Amino acid sequence: MAVASPKLIEILKRARKIVFLTGSGISAESGIPTFRGAEGLWKNFKPEELASFNAFIKNPDRVWEWYQFRRDIILNSKPNAGHFAIKDFEKHFPSVIVVTQNVDNLHRAAGSSEIYELHGNIMKNYCIRCKKRYDFEKFTLKEECPKCDCGGLIRPDVVWFGENLNDSVYSAAENSVDEADFVIVSGSSNIVYPAALLPQIAIRKGIFTVEINIERTELSHMMDEFIAGKSGDIIPSLLREYLES
Ligand code: OAD
């Protein structure tokens, strides 16, 4: 049975600029746990209790251990059919942009050309005192939070709750959505702001919006179409159905 409606396929045929807005669900089939939901919790901590500067200062080792746990999984994971299908859209449309809340590098590993990482990249780090960078270092495999030569704590270069997103990355993401004629939102609970504003920009502008998720989210009722299912199944099917139409 087709996953896409005839209307969706017709609109896709006229699309020139497609934006994918992705969250942790798109990497679930690569074996990376999502943040929320029963399987998303690490040692019963909510992400909001670990992903903040205050949490880090209070207990650097615990926060580092969480990132370490996630890095270990990410280092051993590969892009899945969803990531690869997004890359394959590039063969058939003039512009395909990925805006992701994920810090796992998997869209890059799949070969996507234009990616905006709203929340940073988990493999990059810097010293909170002197700002020296420690990208892709071996010490990331240690349990306790490492220190810089200057004695400062080293933190991951990701955006924490209460911190601002990188201005130029967020503006580029906003512009991409603003200029898009087709927006696909997949694998996000759409509750973390400002990332959750991006689909709303598209909705307000009347850009055709599709959500692909295993369950409905806060935004589902506002989207033009909601397709229930795993991104690794639905995104490749969508492309196949478009190509066969
Ligand atoms: P969440 O964990 O909040 O939501 C994951 C979403 O993916 C849920 O809506 C699931 O239903 C859906 N999902 C799970 N498996 C899926 C699959 N195979 N295919 C499609 N959908 C699937 O993750 P995010 O929305 O990405 O931020 O979380 C947003 C931010 O909260 C993260 O970037 C992180 C976190 O705290 C920071 O650390 C700043």
Q: Which two tokens mark 33?
A: 């746990």
Is 221 an annotated catalytic residue?
A: no
Residue 78 has pLDDT above 90, yes or no: yes
| Catalytically annotated residue among 83, 92, 119, 221 | 119
How far is the C-alpha of 42 from the C-alpha of 69, rounded, in Å? 9
- Secondary structure E strands in 11-159: 17-22, 95-100, 114-117, 120-127, 154-158
Confidence of residue 74 (pLDDT cuts 50, 70, 90): very high
Which domains does the chain show, CATH number per domain? 6-32+80-119+165-244 (3.40.50.1220), 37-75+127-158 (3.30.1600.10)
Nearest residue (CA) to ligand 1, atom 14: 25
80 touches ligand 1 (CB under 6 Å)? no
The closest residue, in CA terms, to atom 36 on ligand 1 is 47
Give the mean pLDDT of 189-204: 96
Cβ of residue 100 lying under 6 Å from some atom of ligand 1: no
**186 and 211 in contact (C-beta within 8 Å)?**
yes
Q: What is the pLDDT of residue 45?
A: 84
Residue 126: strand pairing partners: 133, 155
Q: Is the pLDDT of residue 170 over 90?
A: yes
On average, the pLDDT of the chain sits at 94
Pick the atom of ligand 1 nearest to 215's CA.
11
Residue 114 scores a pLDDT above 80: yes
Residue 1 has pLDDT above 90, yes or no: no
Residues 6+ apart with CB under 8 A from 77: 27, 30, 31, 32, 104, 106
Q: How confident is the model at residue 135 (pLDDT cuts 50, 70, 90)?
A: confident
**Separation CA 70–CA 175 (nearest Å):** 31
- Tell whether the model's pLDDT for residue 140 goes beyond 60: no
- What is the DSSP track for 156-212? EEEPPBTSPPPHHHHHHHHHHHHH-SEEEEES--S-STTTTHHHHHHHHHT-EEEEE
User: Higher confidence at residue 38 or residue 202?
Assistant: 202
**Ligand 1 center–CA 124 separation, angstroms:** 21
CA distance 112 to 123: 18
